[in-house]
Structures are given as structure tokens and as C-alpha cells.
């Protein structure tokens, strides 16, 4: 009788523990996509420093000035890059650690060794029958799911604490990328336009030289526009990360429901899709 009660209690605990496990998997899907998505920041291939150097070299080209060491005053731009990097690092570190905490690999229980140990059913005077073996396996699964519950509890705590700060940092990062770095690229586009327009006015150019000029100009514009597209896609990724995190934050008490899990899954899929778009922009 006691054995039967114990058996059903163990099964009940398994059901309760399994519920936590399902939420963890969904959270991990989102955190994994978010951590990867945010890391595309390192692939945008442009910076404030770069925009300063581009301007400096274009000015030298306009003035036909060649120096051994082009001294370009870019201190403000380096500071702007440092601040951007600071904000990105804070966001990226948080997402990476959150992803680590939600990982299913963080706590596993290697049942193989145990199965081998108890598969020899008769150790001299020690008998292990099927029911005892199953109960033992159930207990090990409970140990695993208990740590999963701990993970889920901690994830909820950290997401709740971090969301207001994360939203601010993601908003600022989007501002810097979307308004300022894309803005710098707009200035570069205008500078390139002005440079080639001035050159095209020269009466000493041959027809071939003029057409080469036009080709160079549009090649440069295409390169600038590609960089702007990559940054725009990255901003969309950051927006999805922000929305997903806020959604999780506002639904912390219903993470195990089908609807909420599907929505979180949707955010992960969106981020993955945008990462594909980003990677295709070459």
C-alpha cells in the first residue's frame, strides 16, 4: 500500500516538474534566437570611426592631397563608437547569460551509467526488480526536473528585474543605429554625390571618363545602401528581441499555457527569419 502511494506521488511530481520543463524549452528558443540575433551587430561593417575616415579620405581626394600619414581628427567619432559598444556589450552579455541559464544542457542526468548499474538485476544478495528500477529512474528524472524548475524560477526573476533596463538600452541602440549611423551613411551618400557631381562638371573629361565616373558613383551608392539595409534589418531584429522580452515579462505567470508558448515561439521564428535576411545581404 505504501509502495503504491509512493508510486503515484512520484508520478504526480513528474507531471508537475514536466510542466516547468516545457516552459524552459520555449524560453530557451527565444533566448537562443535573441542572443544570436543581437550578435549581428558585429557584422554591420560600419562605425562612426569609419565614417570619419571616409570623409577624411574623400576630402583628401577632392584636394588631390597625398600624405604618408593622413591625420584625421576622429576623437568624437571614437567616443561615439565606445558608447555604442558599451550599450551593445551590456545587451549582448545579458542575452548570452540568459540563454545559458535557459539551456536544457545546463542540467542533464546521464541515465546510461545508472541503467548499466541496475541492469544487472542480481548483485549477490541485492535484488532489484522492475518496479524498484522504475521508481529509481523516476527519482532521477525528478532531480533533473527540480533543477529545471529552479532554472525557470530564476529566469522569471531575472527577466522581471531586467525588462525595464533592457527596453531602455535596446531603444537607445536602435536610436544610435537607425538615426545616427544610418544618418552618417546619408551624409556619406551626399558627400559622394557632391564629389562626383563636381567632377562631372569638368569640361576636360572624355566621354569614357564621364561614363566611368557615373559607374563609380552608382557602385559607391549601392555599397552605402547595402550597409543601410543591413543596419535596418538589425534594428528590426532588436525590435523583435525587445517585444519578445516584454511579452514574456508581462506573461510570466502564464508561460506554460499553449497560447503564450506559441507567441514566444513566434518571436523566436521572427528573429530567425530576420537573421536569414541579414545574412543574405552581401
Partner 1 sequence: MAQITAKQAKDLASDFLGLAQAIGDFRYNHWDDLSTEENQQLAKMQWSILNYGEDILAISSTLVFNDVSNTLTKIDSITNEIRQSVDKLENIQKAINIGSIIVALGGAIISRRPQAILDHLQELSDTWNE
| Residue 163 and residue 249 in contact, taking contact as beta carbons nearer than 8 Å | yes
Question: Per CB under 8 A, does 158 bind partner 1?
Answer: yes
Give the CA angle between residues 219, 180, 97 to the nearest 5°: 105
| Residue 278 and residue 237 in contact, taking contact as beta carbons nearer than 8 Å | yes
Displacement of CA 31 from its chain's centroid (Å):
8
Cβ closest to partner 1, residue 249 vs residue 273: 249
* Cα–Cα distance measured from residue 158 to residue 166, given in angstroms and rounded to the nearest whole number: 11
Question: Per CB under 8 A, does 84 bind partner 1?
Answer: yes
Please give the DSSP secondary-structure letter assigned to residue 144: H
Collapse the DSSP code of 258 into the 3-class scheme (helix H, G, I; strand E, B; otherwise coil) and give the result: helix
Question: Footprint of partner 1 on residues 102-121 (CB under 8 A)?
Answer: 106-111, 113-114, 116-118, 120
Question: Per CB under 8 A, does 35 bind partner 1?
Answer: no
Q: How far is the CB of 27 from partner 1 (least distance, A)?
A: 13
Collapse the DSSP code of 137 into the 3-class scheme (helix H, G, I; strand E, B; otherwise coil) and give the result: helix
Question: Footprint of partner 1 on residues 164-183 (CB under 8 A)?
Answer: 165-166, 168-169, 172, 175-176, 179-180, 183
Cβ closest to partner 1, residue 124 vs residue 206: 124
Question: Per CB under 8 A, does 224 bind partner 1?
Answer: no
Name the H helices within the chain.
2-38, 48-62, 75-101, 111-119, 130-175, 182-200, 207-250, 258-280
Q: Is the backbone of residue 45 left (phi > 0), alpha (psi -120 to 50) or beta?
A: left
**Out of 98, 149, 235, 260, the residue judged to bind partner 1 by CB under 8 A:** 98
Sites of contact with partner 1 (CB under 8 A)? 48, 51-52, 55, 59, 62, 76-77, 79-80, 83-84, 86-87, 90-91, 93-94, 97-98, 100-101, 106-111, 113-114, 116-118, 120, 123-124, 126, 140, 143, 147, 150-151, 154, 158, 161-162, 165-166, 168-169, 172, 175-176, 179-180, 183-184, 186-187, 190-191, 193-194, 197-198, 201
Amino acid at each position: 500500500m505504501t509502495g503504491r502511494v509512493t508510486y503515484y506521488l512520484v508520478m504526480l511530481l513528474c507531471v508537475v516538474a514536466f510542466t516547468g520543463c516545457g516552459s524552459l524549452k520555449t524560453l530557451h528558443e527565444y533566448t537562443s534566437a535573441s542572443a544570436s540575433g543581437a550578435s549581428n551587430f558585429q557584422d554591420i561593417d560600419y562605425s562612426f570611426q569609419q565614417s570619419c575616415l571616409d570623409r577624411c579620405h574623400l576630402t583628401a581626394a577632392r584636394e588631390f592631397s597625398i600624405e604618408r600619414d593622413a591625420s584625421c581628427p576622429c576623437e568624437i567619432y571614437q567616443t561615439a563608437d565606445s558608447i555604442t559598444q558599451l550599450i551593445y556589450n551590456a545587451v549582448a552579455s545579458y542575452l548570452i547569460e540568459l540563454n545559458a541559464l535557459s539551456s536544457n544542457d545546463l542540467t542533464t542526468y546521464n541515465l546510461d551509467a545508472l541503467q548499466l548499474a541496475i541492469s544487472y538485476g542480481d548483485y549477490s544478495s541485492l535484488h532489484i526488480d522492475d518496479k524498484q528500477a522504475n521508481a529509481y529512474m523516476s527519482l532521477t528524472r525528478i532531480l533533473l526536473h527540480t533543477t529545471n524548475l529552479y532554472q525557470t524560477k530564476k529566469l522569471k526573476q531575472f527577466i522581471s528585474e531586467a525588462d525595464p533596463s533592457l527596453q531602455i538600452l535596446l531603444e537607445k541602440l536602435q536610436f544610435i543605429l537607425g538615426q545616427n549611423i544610418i544618418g552618417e551613411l546619408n551624409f556619406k551618400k551626399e558627400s559622394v554625390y557632391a564629389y562626383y557631381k563636381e567632377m562631372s562638371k569638368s569640361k576636360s573629361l572624355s566621354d569614357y571618363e564621364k561614363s566611368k565616373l557615373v559607374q563609380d558613383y552608382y557602385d559607391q551608392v549601392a555599397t552605402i545602401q547595402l550597409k543601410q539595409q543591413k543596419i535596418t534589418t538589425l534594428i528590426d531584429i532588436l525590435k523583435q528581441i525587445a517585444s519578445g522580452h516584454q511579452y514574456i515579462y508581462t506573461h510570466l505567470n502564464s508561460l506554460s499555457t499553449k497560447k503564450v508558448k506559441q507567441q514566444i515561439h513566434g518571436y523566436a521564428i521572427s528573429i530567425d527569419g530576420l537573421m536569414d535576411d541579414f545574412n543574405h545581404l552581401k
